[in-house]
């Protein structure tokens, strides 16, 4: 259970929509490249309409601050089957990195716990959908206008303290100061556009889901699990 899991959801009925082409997309899509099961009609670059509108505002705020920068989308809508695939992949990957046997002992349990700080469980309970499966959450970074991602002091999806938004706060090293400033700029434009940030991930923002409601003090979330628009239209 996450601290936001008990928050009720009152689905507002907004459909998913494709992200406008003016957003940079980090392609090939990283999870599709791994073989994640999106299906023939799956499109990860979708979000709820209200989320897309706020993301456009964030892009404008970023451009107003620095015309040389753009938001670059790493991932958006994620079916629960893909969530399950990526949780298993991340556990196996971290086990290989640490030399831990799968499904064996305390070291494996620590791997599962560490992955769980960053990857939501692929719950099929309608009361506790993973954030990305609602179409409310987006993983993104800053890029140049030419589409070159900026160095942010840690890769998206990295497991560990390096991914925490304030990891570089107060450090004197020039590179660390730069990375903190970039993370803070991303946080500022997203917060000003109504988004809430995941407490463990500098790249993850959402609007309208349970995490957002928890961070913003809202009584309810407005987005439940979202169906693929290609399957419902």
Q: Return d(Cα 61, Cα 81) in angstroms, integer.
A: 34
Q: Is 158 exposed, middle or buried (0-12, 13-18, 19+ CB in 10 A)?
A: middle
Residues found in the chain = 233
pLDDT of residue 22: 85
pLDDT at 230: 45
Q: What is the predicted pLDDT for the residue at 103?
A: 82
* Burial of 196 from C-beta contacts in 10 A (0-12 / 13-18 / 19+): buried
Domains annotated on the chain, with CATH: 16-35+43-152+160-232 (3.30.1380.10)
Which pLDDT does position 39 carry in this prediction? Answer: 86
pTM value is 0.95
Burial of 74 (0-12, 13-18, 19+ CB in 10 A): buried
201 is catalytic: yes
Tokens of 194: 């109504």
Averages of pLDDT over runs of 10 residues in the chain (233 residues) are 95 96 92 92 92 98 97 97 97 95 90 96 96 98 95 97 98 97 98 98 98 98 83 39
**Phi-psi domain of 42 (left: phi exceeds 0; alpha: psi -120 through 50; beta: other):** beta
Predicted pLDDT at 199: 96
Q: Is the separation of the CB atoms in 108 and 95 below 8 Å?
A: yes
Catalytic residue among 22, 101, 201, 225: 201
């Amino acid at each position: 259970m996450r601290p936001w899991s008990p928050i009720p959801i009152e689905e507002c009925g907004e459909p998913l929509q494709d992200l406008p082409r003016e957003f940079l997309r980090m392609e090939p899509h990283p999870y599709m490249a791994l073989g994640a099961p999106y299906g023939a009609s799956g499109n990860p670059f979708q979000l709820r309409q209200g989320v897309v509108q706020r993301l456009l505002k964030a892009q404008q705020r970023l451009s107003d601050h620095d015309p040389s920068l753009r938001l670059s989308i790493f991932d958006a809508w994620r079916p629960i089957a893909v969530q399950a695939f990526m949780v298993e992949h991340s556990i196996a990957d971290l086990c290989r990195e640490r030399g831990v046997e799968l499904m064996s002992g305390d070291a494996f349990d620590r791997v599962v716990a560490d992955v769980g700080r960053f990857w939501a469980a692929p719950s099929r309970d309608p009361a506790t959908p993973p954030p990305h499966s609602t179409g409310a959450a987006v993983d993104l970074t800053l890029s140049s206008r030419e589409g070159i991602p900026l160095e942010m002091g840690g890769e998206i999806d990295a497991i560990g303290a390096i991914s925490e938004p304030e990891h570089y706060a107060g450090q004197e090293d020039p590179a660390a100061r730069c990375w903190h400033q970039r993370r803070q700029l991303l946080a500022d434009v997203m917060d000003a556009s109504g988004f809430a940030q995941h407490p463990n991930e500098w790249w993850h923002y959402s609007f309208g889901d349970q995490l957002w409601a928890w961070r913003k003090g809202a009584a309810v979330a407005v987005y439940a699990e979202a169906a693929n628009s290609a399957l419902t239209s």
